[in-house]
Amino acid sequence: MQLSLMLIMPAVGALIAWILPDNRRRPLVLPVFAVIHLLLLGWVLVDTPPPSPHGWFLLDPIGKLVLSSFSILFAACAWYSVNYLRYREERSNRILCSALLLCLSAMCLVSISQNLGVLWVALETTSILMAPLVYFNHNARSLEATWKYFLICSVGIAVALLGIFFLAYSTIVARQDATLLLSSLIDDAPRLNPQWRHTAFIFLLVGFGSKMGLAPMHTWKPDAYGEAPGIVGALLAGGLVNCAFLSLMRVYQIAVATQEAATFQNALIVMGLLSMAFAAVFMARQNDFKRMLAYSSVEHVGILTLALGLGKGALFGALFHMVNNCLTKGVLFLSAGNIHRAFGSKNTATVRGAIRWVPWSGALFLTGFLAITGSPPFAPFVSEFTIVSSAFTTGNYWAGSLFLVFLAVIFIGMALTVLPVVLGAPPELEAGAARPPRDGLVAIMPLLLLMGIMLILGIWLPPPLRELLMAGARLLGGGQ
Amino acid sequence: MDSLADQLLVLSLLINFIVLGTSRLGFAVRAVAIQGVVLGLLPALIHPFSWHIVLIVILMICAKGVLIPWLITNAIRKAEIKREVEPFIGYIPTLVLGAICTALAFVFAKRLPMAAEHQGLLFVPASIATLMTGFLVLTTRRKAISQVIGYLLMENGIFIFGLLLAGAMPVMVEAGAVLDLLVAIFVMGIIMNHISREFSSLDTSRLTMLKEE
């Protein structure tokens, strides 16, 4: 009941946004429905609904974490968008508003589905809905980005579908009842036909990996993140990545229950480190600060995948880092959007000294950079520390050391771009040209809130959240 | 009936090579349309009669045989291009690569055990070969239309495998998957129209503004 309300309400909002003829007032639908969504979220977190009759839909602890993190991010983006879309009144925002709300509904479906088939359908729906959002600016560059994004993601997700089919077929060959239900697949995992199961895992890893943007399937990411508006970038890096990571975690739940758990985990460690290495290389000397954020996203999906591969204590870190990455990316993309608008460029040759022109956004961009690179006292520091310490305690010295090296290189690479953008000398204004208006507090509030959450979680982890993370980690680790 | 099913699968493997070998886009679209119809007939051959199967057959033939080819042909007419010129890899090498992929698909499928009722059928090699051919077309051609054709081939490959599961999958999931894939093609068609308007060509090698310097 509550769960179906969570799916239906955003869709109703999308319908209203579609019908409303007024381009000025339409964006107000977004925060209204975001608030309704947050209220519903609070309801399901306090009073968890029972599983649906066939067991297809259930909000388990992992789903709760994914759902809450992107719901908070969505609310912040919705708040921000009212102000943002006022600057972009010349362009119709009908498609943007409707697609955003439908996407919220599809992401909810991803987080509650326990049937791999439904999960796939929901994930594919989110990637289709993101295509018009990436293309919001309607110019040649955003068109190129949309085409690359859509083609690579469609191919990736098609490969994942084949992987799901293989998994289903492995049940038929093993003379089990054919099923795509997660709980029965986990129970039967050791008895599934090993050849088909193994092939399925490879396909699923590649498929969901390209959706998450793991290297070397990450090539769409810099383009899509660079050309999409800030809100869309934030939702891609926070929402879509979390949904794809959730799908990977579902596969992981099945894989750790089989005899080939170690092989699968090693594959994850290698893919995670590879993504971090790619990010470290391309982050250096990046002269477009939005593309830099895309490489930061490649880095963090790498960290998440690595943590999943390490298993045990790192699983807690993986889930916590997923939440942290989602919210911190929100701050970074939204403040980057403000800076981009103030300077009319996202090239570091032009954009310098943002803290003078747009002090709030500049300061938040800098703080967000410190948080995402794992500086204390912010929450990503805690989660990254958990992951690296668990790498060393479980004897993965190589993985742990490489992880630290990549983090250091990425910190330097990112600092070389971020510091001049925020603290450098602002460009000379031509005679008579006015400085862009300073950013107002109303538009900055959602970013401050997100940053505040990251600060609080870095200092103090509330017991309910800790319990939720522990429960999620237990579920991931196969009940240990 | 099984031998007829196998013959249809061989026919669809041949169509893969036609798509790989032709430079005429209209011809390639028609070939993929025929493949869609051929594959759409398959469920009727291998599964006992049920309304569920009838629905799949009708949906497949309408979508893959009529609707999508019409959409792509429209895009070709609007953009006024007829041929794929200068693919990244020439036609003869891609044909050879396609043959190698098909052979590998057969080797790979040999290693995978089949359920008793599917023994000796060509479904798995045909599925993997079609998927790989689609990927080959997608990666070696420049025109957006050719890339969409490649994606269609990949989808057909997945559909062939999905047939083995037709009875076992819930109808909801199946319908959702088919619908999503169709919508994806539509969105590609829309983006393609925008590309041809913006660049007055459908050559994706012109999409090179976003590059690492």
Evaluate if residue A476 carries a pLDDT over 80.
yes
Dump pLDDT digits (tens) for A183-193. Answer: 888 888 888 88
DSSP B61: I
Torsion sign, CA atoms A275, A276, A281, A287: positive
Q: What is the pLDDT of residue A437?
A: 73
**pLDDT mean over B38-42:** 87
Q: What is the pLDDT of residue A447?
A: 93
Query: Of the candidates A375, A332, A249, which has an alpha carbon nearest to the alpha carbon of residue A73?
Result: A332
C-alpha B196/C-alpha B190 separation (Å) is 10
C-alpha A381/C-alpha A360 separation (Å) is 23
Q: What is the pLDDT of residue B211?
A: 62
Pick from A118, A132, A195: CB nearest B113:
A195
Can the peptide bond before residue A216 be classed as cis, meaning omega within 30 degrees of 0?
Answer: yes
pLDDT band at A393 (very low <50, low <70, confident <90, very high): very high
pLDDT band at A431 (very low <50, low <70, confident <90, very high): low
A59-73, A163-177, A193-207, B166-180: lowest mean pLDDT where?
A: B166-180
C-alpha A346/C-alpha A349 separation (Å) is 9
Chain-centroid distance, C-alpha B186: 15
Q: What is the pLDDT of residue B79?
A: 74
Q: What is the pLDDT of residue A237?
A: 92
Torsion sign, CA atoms A198, A202, A207, A209: positive
Dump pLDDT digits (tens) for A12-56. Answer: 999 999 998 888 888 899 999 999 999 999 999 988 888 888 888
C-alpha B87/C-alpha B139 separation (Å) is 10
Q: What is the pLDDT of residue A236?
A: 93
**pLDDT mean over A146-169:** 91
**pLDDT mean over A61-70:** 94
Q: Which residues make beta-bridge pairs with A181?
A: A115
Separation in Å, CA A196 to CA A11, A158, B119: 38, 17, 15
**pLDDT mean over A83-100:** 87
Q: What letter represents residue B148's amino acid?
A: V
* Cβ within 8 Å of residue A463, ≥6 positions away: none
The first and second tokens of residue A312, run together, are 């045990």
ipTM: 0.91
Evaluate if residue B179 carries a pLDDT over 80.
no
Q: Give the residue, B46 or A334, on which the prediction is more confident.
A: A334
**pLDDT mean over B141-153:** 87
C-alpha A52/C-alpha A114 separation (Å) is 10
Evaluate if residue A88 carries a pLDDT over 90.
no
Evaluate if residue A404 carries a pLDDT over 70.
yes
Mean pLDDT of chain B: 83
Q: What is the pLDDT of residue B209?
A: 66
Dump pLDDT digits (tens) for B180-201. Answer: 878 888 888 888 878 777 776 6
pLDDT band at A327 (very low <50, low <70, confident <90, very high): very high
Dump pLDDT digits (tens) for A222-272. Answer: 999 989 998 999 999 999 999 999 999 999 999 999 988 899 999 999 999
Q: What is the pLDDT of residue B202?
A: 65
**pLDDT mean over B16-36:** 90
C-alpha A231/C-alpha A81 separation (Å) is 7
Query: Of the candidates A196, A146, A138, A202, which has an alpha carbon nearest to the alpha carbon of residue A167?
Result: A196
Q: Which residue is closest to A197 within chain B, CA to CA? A: B112
C-alpha A23/C-alpha A17 separation (Å) is 10
| Residue pair A145/A228 in contact by the 8 Å Cβ criterion | yes
Q: What is the pLDDT of residue B210?
A: 66
In sequence order, what DSSP letters do the residues of A368-391 get, joined into one string?
Answer: HHHHHTT-TTSHHHHHHHHHHHHH
C-alpha A165/C-alpha A204 separation (Å) is 10
pLDDT band at B11 (very low <50, low <70, confident <90, very high): very high
Q: Which residue is closest to A113 within chain B, CA to CA? A: B173
Q: What is the pLDDT of residue B1?
A: 56
Mean pLDDT of chain A: 90
C-alpha B13/C-alpha B88 separation (Å) is 23
Whose structure tokens read 């011809």? B27
Q: Which residue is closest to A282 within chain B, CA to CA? A: B212
C-alpha A279/C-alpha A219 separation (Å) is 11
Q: What is the pLDDT of residue B110?
A: 85
Whose structure tokens read 């990637």? A127
Torsion sign, CA atoms A115, A118, A124, A127: negative
A316-330, B36-50, B147-161: lowest mean pLDDT where?
A: B36-50
A115-119, A135-139, A272-276: lowest mean pLDDT where?
A: A135-139
Q: What is the pLDDT of residue B115?
A: 80
**pLDDT mean over A419-440:** 78
Neighbours of A86 (CB within 10 A): 11
**pLDDT mean over B72-81:** 79
Task: Using an 8 Å CB-CB cutoff, list chain B residues near A292.
Answer: none
**pLDDT mean over A110-115:** 93
Pick from B113, B147, B176: CB nearest A151:
B147
Pick from A121, A141, A143: CB nearest B194:
A143
In sequence order, what DSSP letters do the residues of A290-319 get, joined into one string?
Answer: HHHHHHHHHHHHHHHHHHHHH-THHHHHHH
Q: Where are the domains of chain A?
A: 266-426+441-480
A291-295, A358-362, B51-55: lowest mean pLDDT where?
A: B51-55
C-alpha B62/C-alpha A363 separation (Å) is 56
Dump pLDDT digits (tens) for B80-130. Answer: 777 776 778 888 888 999 999 999 999 988 888 888 777 778 889 999 999
C-alpha B165/C-alpha A76 separation (Å) is 43
Evaluate if residue A371 carries a pLDDT over 90.
yes
Q: Give the residue, B207 or B154, on which the prediction is more confident.
A: B154
Query: Of the candidates A232, A207, A241, A356, which has an alpha carbon nearest to the alpha carbon of residue A290?
Result: A232
Task: Using an 8 Å CB-CB cutoff, list chain A residues near B195.
Answer: 143, 147
Dump pLDDT digits (tens) for B120-144. Answer: 788 899 999 999 999 999 888 888 8
Task: Using an 8 Å CB-CB cutoff, list chain B residues near A193.
Answer: 113
C-alpha B162/C-alpha A118 separation (Å) is 15
**pLDDT mean over A260-286:** 92
Q: What is the pLDDT of residue A188?
A: 86
Q: What letter represents residue A125's amino acid?
A: T
In sequence order, what DSSP letters do the residues of A392-431 get, joined into one string?
Answer: HHTT-HHHHHHHHHHHHHHHHHHHHHHHHHHHSPPPPPPT
Residue ranges of A 105-164 with Cβ closer than 8 A to chain B: 115, 117-118, 120-121, 124-125, 128, 131-132, 135, 139-141, 143-148, 150-151, 154-155, 158, 161-162
Q: What are phi and psi of B6, to 5 degrees?
A: -60, -40
Evaluate if residue B18 carries a pLDDT over 70.
yes
Whose structure tokens read 């948080």? A371
Note whether A150 contacts B151, CB cutoff 8 Å: no
Dump pLDDT digits (tens) for A201-210. Answer: 999 999 999 9
The first and second tokens of residue A208, run together, are 């969901």
Q: Is this model's pTM higher than 0.80 or not?
A: yes
